[in-house]
Amino acid sequence: MQFSPSMTRLRYLTTTCAVCGESCRFTIPPGAVSAGSRDLDTRPAEPLRSTIYAWVKRCPSCGYCAPDPGKALAGAADAVRLPRYRWQLDARGFPDIANTFLCWSIIQEDLGAPAQAAWASLHAAWVCDDEGEDVPARVCRRRAADLLQRAREQDERLAPLEGADEALLVDLLRRTGRFREARAVAARVLDQDPQPLIAGIMRLQVRLIAASDRGAHTVAEARRSRQPTPL
């Protein structure tokens, strides 16, 4: 079941854009939790997943995109003026909310935070998934995978749990069809005897890769699967 903003009582946030100084008003959904298993790429279950439209907001005046447009990190205003940012803001072929997430990703990348930029790009992919836009979703996941690999090179991690970043990377690579790369990362992690949850996820990923499966799967599937998979 897909939830919509109209299904629950909404609140509103009025703030002043930290980049241009204009007043902005945004819809704020009520608090929600994930009532079910997350996807392998960490996407939460409903009803939390359907609040994604409010996770990043766009100033209607200058186009500044951020979780809270009333706040801006040093350098964010310069990033908003980048040509690729201005192009992405209303890029055809991407859903509007995906463009908002991708612009936030560009800001994070420009400010030297590739891991956070990867998260934002992944969230854009989820929006594309909901709209049935497979090609833009793959573009967003490729960007997220490349940013996550860059973050690893800089010793910047998304999650403290050992192997969690690699588990996300494998899912990003698999869902973009980069099966050989995904399998290599999964095999490398399994060789390191990871903790049970990560091992279960990687074994499931190996089977999905062998089947050329690019679809969404859940952590619950990995928990049910405890049998070793030959590499």
Q: Is the pLDDT of residue 158 over 90?
A: no
CA triple 115-119-123, angle to 5 deg = 165
Mean pLDDT, the chain, rounded, equals: 92
pLDDT digits (tens, 9 = 90+) for 122-137: 999 999 999 999 999 9
Q: Is the pLDDT of residue 17 over 50?
A: yes
Task: Give domain limits for the chain.
Answer: 161-231
Contact 125, 137 (CB under 8 A): yes
As a whole-number percent, the residues of the chain with pLDDT over 90 amount to 82
pLDDT at 227: 52
Q: Is the pLDDT of residue 20 over 60?
A: yes
| Predicted confidence band of residue 157 (pLDDT cuts 50, 70, 90) | confident
pLDDT digits (tens, 9 = 90+) for 186-216: 999 999 999 999 999 999 999 999 999 999 9
pLDDT at 41: 97
Q: Is the pLDDT of residue 6 over 80?
A: no
Contact 171, 155 (CB under 8 A): no
Q: Is the pLDDT of residue 230 over 80?
A: no
Exposure class string for 31-64: b at 16+ Cβ within 10 A, else e: eeeeeeeebbbbbbbebbbbbbbbbbbbbeebbb
Q: Is the pLDDT of residue 3 over 50?
A: no
pLDDT at 2: 46
| Alpha-carbon separation of residue 163 from 64, 91, 166 (angstroms) | 34, 35, 5
How many CA within 13 A on the CB side of residue 32?
Answer: 24
pLDDT digits (tens, 9 = 90+) for 58-104: 999 999 999 999 999 999 999 999 999 999 999 999 999 999 999 99
| Alpha-carbon separation of residue 109 from 64, 76, 105, 171 (angstroms) | 15, 11, 6, 21
pLDDT at 28: 87
| Predicted confidence band of residue 226 (pLDDT cuts 50, 70, 90) | low
pLDDT at 9: 65
